[in-house]
Amino acid sequence: MKFILFLILSLIIVVPAFAIPLSDRTGLKTKFDVDVGEKTYVIETVANFNIDNVEFYNDTLVFQISSGLQNNLLELQIPQNITKGEIHLFLNEQEIAPKILTNSEISFVTLEFPGNGTHILEVKSDFTLKTPQPEIIQGESVNMVAIFVTVAIAAIAAGSVMAYKKRKPVTR
């Protein structure tokens, strides 16, 4: 009986000594609200390091990262309204190639990188919220007579329609 108890206690003590630590592969789920234009979007992250801040400016998501581990793992869920098009990631200003899966609602990014300390991760895409500006052609004059005639015809047509609608139907 004592031998079985000794065997169970030794397994509880010895086996964890040879186990791979979970802290390198487990992460904390965090949600960040990011303002893009007049809307606010939620960026979801799972990481085994701290994400101190997330900002969106100049059509770029910027993550400020602090890590105490050598092997870093990050998963991002970014709404498609921010990242339509091809995504490019830059870690400390060097382009990296993560695994990216997309659907109609989100882009899911899985990224592993080495190095403890502080890092800056930038997520850029070829999508922009800016609307194209109309092209102004220089040197062409505006034909005011054509504009006046067009407005006059539209006014006469609108008046005719109004007069037709005011007319009472004939009853028999």
**Chain CA centroid to CA 50, Å:** 19
Domain assignment present for 99: yes
**Residue 159 belongs to a domain:** no
pLDDT band at 110 (very low <50, low <70, confident <90, very high): very high
Residue 114 covered by a domain: yes
To which residue do tokens 């990262």 refer? Answer: 65
pLDDT for the residue 65: 92
Q: What is the CATH number of the domain that holds 32?
A: 2.60.40
Average the pLDDT over 73-97 and give the result: 88
What's at 88, amino acid-wise? H
pLDDT at 46: 92
pLDDT at position 14: 55
Confidence of residue 7 (pLDDT cuts 50, 70, 90): low
Dist CA 121 CA 98 (whole Å): 12
Question: How far is 45 from 27, CA to CA, in rounded Å?
Answer: 9
Question: Is residue 135 predicted with pLDDT exceeding 70?
Answer: no
**Residue-wise burial string across 70-88, b where 16 or more C-beta atoms lie within 10 A, e elsewhere:** eebbbbbbbbbebbeeebb
Between 141 and 150, the more confident residue is 150
13-27, 79-93, 110-124, 156-170: lowest mean pLDDT where? Answer: 13-27
Is 96 domain-assigned?
A: yes
Percent of the chain whose pLDDT exceeds 70: 73
CA 165/CA 163 separation, integer angstroms: 5
- How many whole angstroms separate alpha carbon 67 and alpha carbon 115? 8
Residue 171 within a domain:
no
Top mean-pLDDT range of 19-33, 56-70, 135-149: 56-70
Number of structural domains (the chain) is 1
In a domain, 91, yes or no: yes
What's residue 126's pLDDT? 74
Domain housing 61: 19-125
pLDDT, averaged across the chain: 79
**Mean local confidence (pLDDT), 128-144:** 62
pLDDT at 76: 92
